[in-house]
Amino acid sequence: MNPVAASNVPPTRRALTLRQVYVRWLITLAVACGAIIVFFPFFWMAVTSLKSAPEIQRVPLQIAPDHWFNFSNYVEVFKREPFLRYLLNSAIVASIAAVSSVVVSSLAGFGFAKYNFPGRDVFFLAIVGILMVPFQSVVVPLYVWMNELGLLDTYMGIVAPDLVSVFGVFLMRQAIEMIPNDYIDAARIDGASELKIFFLVILPSVKPAIATLLIIKFMWSWNEFFWPMVVISSPEMKVVTMGLMSFTNMYFIEYNLLTAAAVLSILPILLIFVTLQRWVVQAVVMSGLKG
Protein backbone atom coordinates (compact mmCIF):
# COMPACT_ATOMS: atom_id res chain seq x y z
CA MET A 1 0.00 0.00 0.00
CA ASN A 2 2.64 2.42 -1.05
CA PRO A 3 1.37 5.96 -1.33
CA VAL A 4 1.25 7.08 -4.87
CA ALA A 5 3.23 10.23 -5.06
CA ALA A 6 1.47 12.69 -7.28
CA SER A 7 0.97 16.36 -7.47
CA ASN A 8 -1.46 18.19 -5.30
CA VAL A 9 -4.26 18.54 -7.81
CA PRO A 10 -7.89 17.78 -7.51
CA PRO A 11 -8.93 14.43 -8.95
CA THR A 12 -9.30 14.52 -12.70
CA ARG A 13 -12.75 13.05 -12.48
CA ARG A 14 -14.12 16.45 -11.62
CA ALA A 15 -14.39 18.86 -14.50
CA LEU A 16 -12.05 21.79 -14.04
CA THR A 17 -13.67 25.16 -13.78
CA LEU A 18 -12.30 28.01 -15.85
CA ARG A 19 -11.04 29.62 -12.71
CA GLN A 20 -9.07 26.54 -11.76
CA VAL A 21 -7.49 26.41 -15.19
CA TYR A 22 -6.64 30.09 -14.94
CA VAL A 23 -5.09 29.64 -11.50
CA ARG A 24 -3.08 26.66 -12.62
CA TRP A 25 -1.79 28.56 -15.62
CA LEU A 26 -0.89 31.53 -13.43
CA ILE A 27 1.03 29.32 -11.06
CA THR A 28 2.96 27.75 -13.90
CA LEU A 29 3.78 31.19 -15.25
CA ALA A 30 4.97 32.40 -11.87
CA VAL A 31 7.17 29.35 -11.42
CA ALA A 32 8.59 29.76 -14.91
CA CYS A 33 9.30 33.46 -14.42
CA GLY A 34 10.98 32.76 -11.11
CA ALA A 35 13.11 30.09 -12.73
CA ILE A 36 14.20 32.45 -15.48
CA ILE A 37 15.11 35.17 -13.00
CA VAL A 38 17.07 32.70 -10.92
CA PHE A 39 18.78 31.40 -14.03
CA PHE A 40 19.69 34.83 -15.31
CA PRO A 41 23.07 35.23 -13.59
CA PHE A 42 24.20 32.05 -15.33
CA PHE A 43 23.17 33.41 -18.65
CA TRP A 44 25.04 36.57 -17.75
CA MET A 45 28.08 34.55 -16.72
CA ALA A 46 28.03 32.54 -19.94
CA VAL A 47 27.64 35.63 -22.08
CA THR A 48 30.45 37.41 -20.27
CA SER A 49 32.78 34.49 -20.83
CA LEU A 50 32.53 35.27 -24.53
CA LYS A 51 33.62 38.86 -24.10
CA SER A 52 37.10 40.27 -24.02
CA ALA A 53 38.27 42.34 -21.06
CA PRO A 54 37.72 45.75 -22.72
CA GLU A 55 34.23 44.64 -23.79
CA ILE A 56 33.35 43.87 -20.21
CA GLN A 57 34.49 47.28 -19.05
CA ARG A 58 32.38 49.01 -21.60
CA VAL A 59 29.82 51.53 -20.48
CA PRO A 60 26.90 51.65 -21.28
CA LEU A 61 26.26 48.00 -20.80
CA GLN A 62 25.88 45.71 -23.73
CA ILE A 63 24.38 42.31 -23.15
CA ALA A 64 25.51 40.56 -26.28
CA PRO A 65 29.21 39.99 -26.84
CA ASP A 66 30.84 41.36 -29.96
CA HIS A 67 31.54 37.91 -31.30
CA TRP A 68 29.29 35.09 -30.24
CA PHE A 69 31.87 32.37 -30.73
CA ASN A 70 34.78 34.06 -29.08
CA PHE A 71 36.27 31.24 -27.05
CA SER A 72 39.58 32.93 -26.41
CA ASN A 73 38.85 33.17 -22.71
CA TYR A 74 38.39 29.43 -22.48
CA VAL A 75 41.65 28.86 -24.32
CA GLU A 76 43.39 31.23 -21.94
CA VAL A 77 41.95 29.44 -18.91
CA PHE A 78 43.42 26.14 -20.03
CA LYS A 79 46.67 27.80 -20.95
CA ARG A 80 47.08 29.37 -17.55
CA GLU A 81 45.99 26.50 -15.39
CA PRO A 82 45.77 22.71 -15.82
CA PHE A 83 42.04 23.03 -15.49
CA LEU A 84 41.23 19.48 -16.60
CA ARG A 85 43.30 18.14 -13.75
CA TYR A 86 41.43 20.39 -11.36
CA LEU A 87 38.13 19.06 -12.67
CA LEU A 88 39.32 15.51 -12.17
CA ASN A 89 40.49 16.20 -8.64
CA SER A 90 37.22 17.85 -7.74
CA ALA A 91 35.29 14.95 -9.25
CA ILE A 92 37.20 12.40 -7.22
CA VAL A 93 36.90 14.30 -3.99
CA ALA A 94 33.22 15.07 -4.46
CA SER A 95 32.42 11.47 -5.39
CA ILE A 96 34.09 10.09 -2.30
CA ALA A 97 32.36 12.66 -0.14
CA ALA A 98 28.96 11.96 -1.67
CA VAL A 99 29.13 8.18 -1.42
CA SER A 100 30.60 8.21 2.05
CA SER A 101 27.99 10.69 3.22
CA VAL A 102 25.12 8.64 1.88
CA VAL A 103 26.35 5.43 3.47
CA VAL A 104 27.10 6.85 6.89
CA SER A 105 24.16 9.24 6.98
CA SER A 106 21.57 6.63 6.08
CA LEU A 107 22.93 4.29 8.74
CA ALA A 108 22.90 7.06 11.31
CA GLY A 109 19.52 8.31 10.15
CA PHE A 110 18.04 4.88 10.66
CA GLY A 111 19.55 4.64 14.11
CA PHE A 112 18.23 8.02 15.15
CA ALA A 113 14.81 7.63 13.58
CA LYS A 114 13.72 4.19 14.56
CA TYR A 115 15.60 3.27 17.67
CA ASN A 116 15.58 4.49 21.18
CA PHE A 117 18.89 3.99 22.91
CA PRO A 118 20.36 5.93 25.80
CA GLY A 119 21.97 9.16 24.75
CA ARG A 120 20.25 9.21 21.39
CA ASP A 121 19.18 12.82 21.58
CA VAL A 122 22.51 13.90 22.98
CA PHE A 123 24.36 12.24 20.15
CA PHE A 124 22.05 13.79 17.61
CA LEU A 125 22.56 17.19 19.12
CA ALA A 126 26.31 16.60 19.11
CA ILE A 127 26.25 15.84 15.42
CA VAL A 128 24.13 18.87 14.64
CA GLY A 129 26.49 20.82 16.87
CA ILE A 130 29.35 20.18 14.45
CA LEU A 131 27.51 22.43 12.03
CA MET A 132 27.47 25.19 14.59
CA VAL A 133 31.19 25.46 14.94
CA PRO A 134 32.69 28.09 12.62
CA PHE A 135 35.12 26.27 10.45
CA GLN A 136 37.57 29.17 10.42
CA SER A 137 38.28 28.71 14.10
CA VAL A 138 38.98 25.02 13.71
CA VAL A 139 41.02 25.13 10.54
CA VAL A 140 44.47 25.58 12.08
CA PRO A 141 44.19 22.77 14.65
CA LEU A 142 42.50 20.59 12.04
CA TYR A 143 45.41 21.18 9.70
CA VAL A 144 47.90 20.29 12.39
CA TRP A 145 45.93 17.12 13.13
CA MET A 146 45.79 16.19 9.45
CA ASN A 147 49.51 16.72 9.31
CA GLU A 148 50.01 14.25 12.14
CA LEU A 149 47.89 11.74 10.29
CA GLY A 150 49.96 12.30 7.17
CA LEU A 151 46.94 13.30 5.14
CA LEU A 152 48.09 16.70 3.93
CA ASP A 153 47.91 17.21 0.21
CA THR A 154 46.08 13.91 -0.33
CA TYR A 155 42.57 13.14 -1.52
CA MET A 156 41.67 11.75 1.89
CA GLY A 157 42.92 14.92 3.48
CA ILE A 158 40.83 17.11 1.24
CA VAL A 159 37.76 15.00 1.84
CA ALA A 160 38.22 14.37 5.57
CA PRO A 161 35.99 17.11 7.01
CA ASP A 162 33.43 16.30 4.34
CA LEU A 163 33.10 12.56 4.83
CA VAL A 164 29.88 12.79 6.77
CA SER A 165 27.25 15.38 6.23
CA VAL A 166 25.29 16.74 9.15
CA PHE A 167 22.62 17.72 6.71
CA GLY A 168 22.69 14.16 5.46
CA VAL A 169 21.99 12.77 8.90
CA PHE A 170 19.16 15.27 9.28
CA LEU A 171 17.68 14.44 5.92
CA MET A 172 17.89 10.68 6.24
CA ARG A 173 16.48 10.77 9.73
CA GLN A 174 13.57 12.81 8.44
CA ALA A 175 12.99 10.53 5.51
CA ILE A 176 13.25 7.33 7.51
CA GLU A 177 10.98 8.67 10.23
CA MET A 178 8.22 8.80 7.67
CA ILE A 179 8.40 5.09 6.99
CA PRO A 180 5.49 3.47 8.86
CA ASN A 181 6.67 1.35 11.75
CA ASP A 182 4.41 -1.48 10.62
CA TYR A 183 6.74 -2.29 7.75
CA ILE A 184 9.66 -2.66 10.12
CA ASP A 185 7.69 -4.67 12.62
CA ALA A 186 6.44 -6.93 9.85
CA ALA A 187 9.99 -7.55 8.71
CA ARG A 188 11.05 -8.29 12.28
CA ILE A 189 8.27 -10.77 12.68
CA ASP A 190 9.53 -12.44 9.53
CA GLY A 191 12.83 -12.89 11.35
CA ALA A 192 14.98 -10.34 9.55
CA SER A 193 18.04 -8.99 11.37
CA GLU A 194 18.28 -5.25 11.94
CA LEU A 195 20.86 -4.87 9.19
CA LYS A 196 18.69 -6.79 6.76
CA ILE A 197 15.81 -4.54 7.62
CA PHE A 198 18.05 -1.63 6.78
CA PHE A 199 18.89 -2.96 3.34
CA LEU A 200 15.56 -4.47 2.39
CA VAL A 201 12.99 -2.17 3.96
CA ILE A 202 14.58 1.18 4.68
CA LEU A 203 16.90 1.88 1.77
CA PRO A 204 14.39 1.15 -0.99
CA SER A 205 11.84 3.42 0.66
CA VAL A 206 14.09 6.45 0.79
CA LYS A 207 15.54 6.41 -2.69
CA PRO A 208 14.52 10.01 -3.42
CA ALA A 209 16.23 11.17 -0.26
CA ILE A 210 19.36 9.21 -1.12
CA ALA A 211 19.48 10.69 -4.59
CA THR A 212 18.90 14.14 -3.14
CA LEU A 213 21.70 13.67 -0.67
CA LEU A 214 24.06 12.38 -3.33
CA ILE A 215 23.48 15.35 -5.56
CA ILE A 216 23.62 17.90 -2.79
CA LYS A 217 26.69 16.47 -1.14
CA PHE A 218 28.49 16.14 -4.46
CA MET A 219 27.77 19.75 -5.31
CA TRP A 220 28.63 20.96 -1.86
CA SER A 221 31.96 19.20 -1.86
CA TRP A 222 32.67 20.32 -5.43
CA ASN A 223 32.27 23.93 -4.37
CA GLU A 224 34.35 23.82 -1.23
CA PHE A 225 37.13 26.39 -1.29
CA PHE A 226 38.59 27.18 2.08
CA TRP A 227 39.62 23.80 3.38
CA PRO A 228 41.00 22.50 0.06
CA MET A 229 42.97 25.72 -0.27
CA VAL A 230 44.52 25.26 3.14
CA VAL A 231 45.29 21.58 2.85
CA ILE A 232 46.55 21.46 -0.75
CA SER A 233 50.05 22.57 -1.58
CA SER A 234 51.00 20.79 -4.77
CA PRO A 235 49.76 22.12 -8.08
CA GLU A 236 48.49 18.71 -9.22
CA MET A 237 46.14 18.31 -6.30
CA LYS A 238 44.38 21.61 -6.71
CA VAL A 239 40.64 21.60 -7.09
CA VAL A 240 38.33 23.56 -9.33
CA THR A 241 37.49 26.28 -6.83
CA MET A 242 41.15 27.09 -6.40
CA GLY A 243 41.47 27.25 -10.15
CA LEU A 244 38.62 29.74 -10.22
CA MET A 245 40.23 31.91 -7.59
CA SER A 246 43.47 32.06 -9.51
CA PHE A 247 41.76 34.57 -11.78
CA THR A 248 41.36 36.95 -8.90
CA ASN A 249 44.14 38.58 -6.96
CA MET A 250 44.73 41.29 -4.44
CA TYR A 251 44.28 44.04 -7.00
CA PHE A 252 41.65 43.04 -9.50
CA ILE A 253 39.36 40.33 -10.81
CA GLU A 254 39.70 39.07 -14.36
CA TYR A 255 36.03 38.65 -15.05
CA ASN A 256 36.48 37.38 -18.56
CA LEU A 257 38.54 34.43 -17.38
CA LEU A 258 36.67 33.96 -14.12
CA THR A 259 33.34 33.53 -15.90
CA ALA A 260 34.84 31.15 -18.43
CA ALA A 261 36.31 29.04 -15.62
CA ALA A 262 33.03 29.20 -13.73
CA VAL A 263 31.12 27.91 -16.74
CA LEU A 264 33.65 25.09 -17.07
CA SER A 265 33.25 24.17 -13.44
CA ILE A 266 29.48 24.09 -13.58
CA LEU A 267 29.11 21.93 -16.67
CA PRO A 268 30.11 18.65 -15.00
CA ILE A 269 27.77 19.27 -12.11
CA LEU A 270 24.99 20.05 -14.51
CA LEU A 271 25.63 16.74 -16.20
CA ILE A 272 25.55 14.81 -12.96
CA PHE A 273 22.47 16.63 -11.80
CA VAL A 274 20.55 15.99 -14.98
CA THR A 275 21.44 12.31 -14.88
CA LEU A 276 20.72 11.84 -11.20
CA GLN A 277 17.52 13.79 -11.41
CA ARG A 278 16.18 11.38 -13.93
CA TRP A 279 17.02 8.63 -11.50
CA VAL A 280 15.19 10.44 -8.74
CA VAL A 281 12.13 10.68 -10.89
CA GLN A 282 12.44 7.04 -11.89
CA ALA A 283 12.84 6.04 -8.28
CA VAL A 284 9.76 7.96 -7.32
CA VAL A 285 7.75 6.55 -10.15
CA MET A 286 8.98 3.01 -9.44
CA SER A 287 8.05 3.23 -5.81
CA GLY A 288 4.64 4.36 -6.92
CA LEU A 289 4.15 1.37 -9.15
CA LYS A 290 5.15 -1.06 -6.45
CA GLY A 291 2.18 -2.43 -4.62
Partner 1 sequence: MRQWFRIAFPRTHLDRRKRAGFLFVLPALLFFGSVFILPLVQSVIYSFYKISPGGSREFVGLRLYEKVLTDTTFWTAVWNTVQLLLFSVPVTVVLALAVALGLNRITNLRWRNLWSSMYFLPFATSLVAAALIWQWIYDPVYGFLNYALSYVGIPPQRWLQSLDQVRPALAAIGVWVRIGFDTMIFLAALQSIPQEYYEAANMDGASAVQRLRYITLPLLNAQIIMVCILELIFNFKIFDQVYATTQGGPAGASQTIISLLYDTAFKYFRLGDASVMAVFVFVTLMAVTLLQWRIFRKPVVY
Partner 2 sequence: MKRREWWMVVMLSAVMVAVTFPGASFAQQKKLVLWTHWDQNPEFNKWYAEKGKEFAKKSGYEVEVVTIPYQGYDAKYLAAFMAKNSAPDMFMGMTHHWCGQYDFCDKMPADLAKIYDDNLPKYMSEVGKWKGARYGIPIEHGNFQQMYINVDMFKKAGLDPDNPPKTMTDFLAAVKKLTIADAKGGDPTQVGFAIRSKGAPVGITDKFLPFAHAFGARMLSPDLDRATGYANSPQMVAALTYFGDLVNKDKVASLAFGNPEDAFGQKRAAIIFRESWFFGWLKKNAPDVNFKVYALPCEKACPGAGALFPWTDLVYKNSPNKQVAWEFMRFISNPKDDMEHHQIQGILPVWTANLESPYVKSRPDYQSTRDMLAQPVPPTYFHPKSNELATAFGEAVVGVLFGKGQPKQLLDEAAVKMDRILKD
Picked from partner 1, partner 2, none, the partner binding residue 134 (CB below 5 to 8 A depending on kind) is: partner 1
Compute the least distance from the CB of residue 209 to partner 1, in Å: 7
Residues 12-41 close enough to bind partner 2 by CB under 8 A = none
**Which one-letter amino acid corresponds to residue 135?**
F
Site for partner 2 in 64-83 (CB under 8 A): 80
Q: Which one-letter amino acid corresponds to residue 97? A: A
User: Total binding residues for partner 2 by CB under 8 A?
Assistant: 46
- Choosing among partner 2, partner 1, none, which partner's interface includes residue 15 (Cβ < 5 to 8 Å by kind)? none
Provide the minimum distance between the beta carbon of 285 and partner 1 in the complex, in angstroms, as a whole number.
9
Report, in Å, the least distance between residue 204 CB and partner 1. 14
Contact 68, 55 (CB under 8 A): no
Window contacting partner 2 (CB under 8 A); options: 14-22, 122-130, 155-163, 262-270:
155-163
8 Å CB contact between 166 and 130: yes
Binding segment for partner 2 (CB under 8 A), chosen from 23-31, 106-114, 139-147, 191-199, is 139-147
If one asks whether residue 282 binds partner 2 (CB under 8 A), the answer comes out as: yes
Is residue 288 within the footprint of partner 2 (CB under 8 A)? no
What's the CA gap between 208 and 281, in Å, rounded? 8
Nearer to partner 2, 202 or 237 (CB): 237
Query: In three state form, how does the secondary structure of the chain look?
Result: CCCCCCCCCCCCCCCCCHHHHHHHHHHHHHHHHHHHHHHHHHHHHHHHCCCCHHHHHCCCCCCCCCCCCCCHHHHHHHHHCCHHHHHHHHHHHHHHHHHHHHHHHHHHHHHHHHCCCCCHHHHHHHHHHHHCCCHHHHHHHHHHHHHHCCCCCCHHHHHHHHCCCHHHHHHHHHHHHCCCHHHHHHHHHCCCCHHHHHHHHHHHHCHHHHHHHHHHHHHHHHCCCHHHHHHCCCHHHCCHHHHHHCCECCCCECHHHHHHHHHHHHHHHHHHHHHHHHHHHHHHHHHHHCC
Least distance in angstroms from the C-beta of 128 to partner 1: 7
Residue 237 or 240: the one with the smaller Cβ distance to partner 1 is: 240
Verify binding: residue 155, partner 2, rule CB under 8 A: yes
Contacting partner 2 (CB under 8 A), which of 21, 33, 122, 140?
A: 140
Instruction: Give the nearest distance from C-beta 267 to partner 2 in angstroms.
Output: 17
Cα atoms in the 13 Å half-sphere on the side-chain side of 142: 18
Asked whether position 242 contacts partner 2 by CB under 8 A, the answer is yes
152 binds, among partner 2, partner 1, none (CB under 5 to 8 A by kind): partner 2
Among 46, 47, 104, 139, binds partner 2 (CB under 8 A): 139
Note the residues at the interface with partner 2 (CB under 8 A).
53-54, 56-59, 80, 91-93, 95-96, 98-99, 136, 139-140, 143-144, 147, 151-157, 225-226, 229-230, 233-237, 242, 245-246, 248-252, 279, 282
